[in-house]
Every structure is written in C-alpha cells, then in structure tokens.
Amino acid sequence: MTDKSNQNNLKSNVAKEYLKSLKVWQTNVDAVDQKIIESKRIKAASTPITNTSSSKIFDASAESLRYKDLGNDQFKVGHYKEAVEYYTLAIQLDNSNAILFANRAMSYLKLKNYSQVVADCNISINLDRTYIKAYHRRGQAYKELKKYKEALDDFNTVLKQDPKSNEAANEVVVIKKLLQQQTVAESIVSNEKKSNVATTPSASATSTSPSIETLPVKTTQPTTPTVTQPTTEPPVKTRARVVEIEDDDDHEMIVDTTKPKATTNTTVTTETTKPTTTITPIAAETTKPTTTNATTPKSSSNSLQERLARLANMKPTLPKTAPRNSFEFEKFYNSIQNDSNLFYNYFKLIEPEKLPNILNDILSPSLFSSIIVILENNYLVNKEYDLIYRILESLTKMNRLSINLQSLSFMEKESINILLKSLNDTIGKDKVDQLKSKFIF
C-alpha cells in the first residue's frame, strides 16, 4: 500500500506540474496572440496609403518599360517616327531613365533631326555621365551640324571609356580632316574680308560729284575755254557732258567715246561769252579704283572655297561589279571615307559565300566593325534576314575571326547579339544556336 500511495503521489505531483506549465504556456500564447492582433490592426490602418502609392510607382515604371520595348520594335523595322512617339510616352512615365532619352535621340538621328539629337543626348548625359552611347550619338549629330570641335570631344570621350571602339576611332580620324578643311576655309574667308577692306575706296573718292577747286580767272575778254587733263589727243568740245567710271551699278554712266577708254579724267567744256570759272578735278585718277581690281581677290578665293567644298563632299562612284580579289575590295573600301550607306551598297555586290576568299587576309578590326554596323543599320532595318545569316556564317569561316571578336567593343558585341536574336523567328533556332556557338566573345 505504501508503494502504491507513493506512486500515486508522484503521478499527482507530475500532473500538477504539467498543468501548471500548461497554464503558463497558454498565458504566454495569449499574450503573443494579442500582440499579433494589435500589430495587424496597426498595419491594416496604414496599409491602404502605402500600398496605393507603391502600386502607382510600380505600374508607372512597368508601363514605361513596356513603351520602351514597343519603341525598340518600331526602330528595328525602320519606323523611326513611331519609335519617337513610343519613347516619348515612356519618358513621360519615367523621366529619370537615361536610356530612354538616348534611344529617342537615335531615332531622331535616323530622321536627320540633329538639333533634337543633341538636346536628348544632353539630358541623357546629365542623368548618367558614363553612358557612352549618348556621347557617341551626340558626336554624330555634331558632325552633321558641322560642329567638328564638339564632335571630336564626344568621340574622344567614347574612346576614353571604351578604347576598343573602332567606330569611334574612325570617326576621330574623319572629323580631324573635316576640322582641318574647315579651318582652311575660315582662314580664306577672313583674308578675303581683310583684302576687301583694304581695297575699298574712301567716301570722298567714291562720291558721284568729284571734289573741285574754284580758281578766279581773267574776265576782260569773252573766251570759250576748254579745260582738260593732260592727254595725247586734242580736246573735243561737247555740251556739258561728264565722263565718269563708277563702281555703283545703280548709278547711270555717260561715257564719252571720243576719248581713250583707259582715261578716267573729268572733262568739262562750256561755250559762253560771260566770265568763266575753271574747274579742276583733284586727283580723280589716283583715287578711283577700277572694278577689275576690286573683284579679282573675291573671284579667286571663291574658286578655292568651291574646290575645297567639292573635295570634302566628293564620293567615289559605286562599281557595277563585285570585287574579284582583296586588292580591288580594299582600294574602294579605303576611298569611301566611312560612308556606311555607300559601303552597304558596295558590300551587297558580293555573294556572301565568296566573302572568305576576298576578306580572309585583310579582315581587320576596323573592317569587321564596319561590317557589323551595316548589318545592324542597313540589313536589319531592310529585313534582309537571309543575307544577315549568310554573311555571319561566312565570317565564321575566316581565320582572323577569333582575333577580331576579342577586339570588339561592348556596343559592337551588343549589336551582334541583336543580329543573332533577330534570326530566331526567320532562320530557325537550331541554325542560330549553331551560329551563336561560333561567336564566342
């Protein structure tokens, strides 16, 4: 009995302890529940304002990106005006994105609205000083606006951030030549102005009424005097006729054909019986510049300016047949002065499958970069997907491909990715994947 009683007491104590701890646990749980309920109530009171504000910001950002993608799609197919509209909508929703302004600037560049390109690129650069595409596009616009110093600064900035950019390096070379030609032309114009100022007659010399000096003469006998400048021919009497040569085209001239043409003196002859006054022109011959001397410098300087302008804008004639070898190709390529449209028309003369035979030994980073540019800006815009694929496939068969791929800039690598992505729907994913495996950066 004693053992059972002890066991019962032990069980009773254990049960009491359990119940006691159970009550403590329940009390703690209730307290925690109360805190959770209270926190939910406080959160519920503030949630509508916070959620609404966050939702609006998220929706605006997402909608802006959607419009940007639509703008990109329009740009790829050459609908630049529509692309501008979509980028503008995207900017209205998010005006802190530097890429949006740079993208719209690229569309304006295609539309040749160069002033707007500069304006959008300025905003893009202010938002992100490291975004080199904005500098590149602004440099292109400055070049078209003939602001060569500003264009040179922008392309030098691109080269500082991306030293491997062959396109920017080529632009620097071209713009330096244009800047030199512009400096020469400005110097000629400046010299011409100075020359014109130096040869312009004074107001007293160009007056239609020559300066005269009145001298008294004897009046004892009526005479008919004739006053002339020294000449080898005898004087001819006329009735109040003035012989002059004027520079002013609007001024009426009466020329006495009885005197030598080279003589520019003034002759006044009167018939009278009254006292007369002798009229003597003062240094008329020495102060009257001839028309030929005034126009000669202008004619020569204009001719030189015209030659310089023609030289700057001179473009080679597009051949009618494809080049037969690398020498013929390189000769024309070096003469086009970075004209991508002319290069595109020339490149189309070549069958893509023949490219390895022509370019295998001369494929340089600058030439490779030029090919990528026309593939993106011309072939892709014209939806020539089959040619893009065949050209890229031919490039993979060239010995220097790996070296040229290593020299690509970030922008050029991005261009190749865009080209490959555009081929997925038209050429086929399997062929494109095989092509991608050969373009390893």
pLDDT at 191: 78
Give residue 98's identity as a one-letter amino acid code: A
314 domain-assigned: no
Instruction: Verify that 157 and 57 share a domain, yes or no.
Output: yes
Question: What CATH number is given to the structural domain containing 167?
Answer: 1.25.40.10
125 domain-assigned: yes
pLDDT at 135: 95
> What SS3 class is residue 213?
strand
Whether residue 63 contacts residue 93, with contact meaning beta carbons closer than 8 Å, is answered with yes
Instruction: Verify that 93 and 234 share a domain, yes or no.
Output: no
297 domain-assigned: no
Q: In this structure, what DSSP letter does residue 233 have?
A: S
What is the extent of the structural domain holding 172? 14-181
Please tell me the distance from the alpha carbon of residue 246 to that of residue 266, in angstroms, as a whole number.
Answer: 12
Q: Provide the number of structural domains found in the chain.
A: 3
319 domain-assigned: no
What are the φ/ψ torsions at residue 158 (nearest 5 degrees)? -60, -45
Whether residue 226 contacts residue 237, with contact meaning beta carbons closer than 8 Å, is answered with yes
Instruction: Verify that 418 and 342 share a domain, yes or no.
Output: yes
Please tell me the distance from the alpha carbon of residue 274 to that of residue 272, in angstroms, as a whole number.
Answer: 5
Instruction: Tell how strand 268-269 and strand 212-215 pair up.
Output: unpaired
Q: C-alpha angle with apex 292: 240 to 245, nearest 5 degrees?
A: 5
Instruction: Verify that 258 and 336 share a domain, yes or no.
Output: no
Please tell me the distance from the alpha carbon of residue 99 to that of residue 89, in angstroms, as a whole number.
Answer: 14
Instruction: Verify that 348 and 405 share a domain, yes or no.
Output: yes
Q: What is the pLDDT along the chain (441 residues), one digit of tens a residue?
A: 555 566 666 667 777 777 777 778 778 877 877 778 777 767 665 554 444 444 444 478 888 888 899 999 999 989 999 899 899 989 988 899 999 999 999 999 999 999 899 999 999 999 999 999 999 999 999 999 999 999 999 999 999 999 988 889 999 999 999 988 888 888 887 777 777 765 655 444 444 444 444 444 444 444 444 444 444 444 444 444 443 333 444 433 334 444 444 444 444 444 444 444 444 444 444 444 444 444 444 445 556 666 665 655 667 788 999 999 998 998 888 888 678 889 999 999 999 999 999 998 888 888 898 999 999 989 998 999 999 999 999 999 998 888 888 878 888 888 898 899 899 888 888 899 999 888 876
Tokens 């406080």, residue?
Answer: 42
Instruction: Verify that 171 and 22 share a domain, yes or no.
Output: yes
Instruction: Tell how strand 278-281 and strand 268-269 pair up.
Output: unpaired
The CA–CA distances, whole Å, from 435 to 46, 170, 382 equal: 55, 28, 21
68 domain-assigned: yes
Instruction: Verify that 367 and 283 share a domain, yes or no.
Output: no
Instruction: Verify that 74 and 222 share a domain, yes or no.
Output: no
Instruction: Verify that 134 and 71 share a domain, yes or no.
Output: yes
Of the three residues 135, 163, 181, the one that is the final residue of a domain is 181
SS3 for 46-110 is HHHHHHHHHHHHHHHHHHHHHHHHHHHHHHHCCCHHHHHHHHHHHHHHCCCCHHHHHHHHHHHHH
pLDDT at 281: 46
Tokens 């049960």, residue?
Answer: 15
296 domain-assigned: no
Percentage helix, strand, coil, to 5, in the chain? 65, 5, 35
Instruction: Verify that 170 and 214 share a domain, yes or no.
Output: no
Instruction: Verify that 279 and 236 share a domain, yes or no.
Output: yes
Instruction: Verify that 243 and 277 share a domain, yes or no.
Output: yes
pLDDT at 2: 58
49 domain-assigned: yes
> What SS3 class is residue 353?
helix
Please tell me the distance from the alpha carbon of residue 70 to that of residue 275, in angstroms, as a whole number.
Answer: 98
Please tell me the distance from the alpha carbon of residue 362 to that of residue 66, in angstroms, as a whole number.
Answer: 43
Q: What is the value of pTM for the model shown? A: 0.38
315 domain-assigned: no
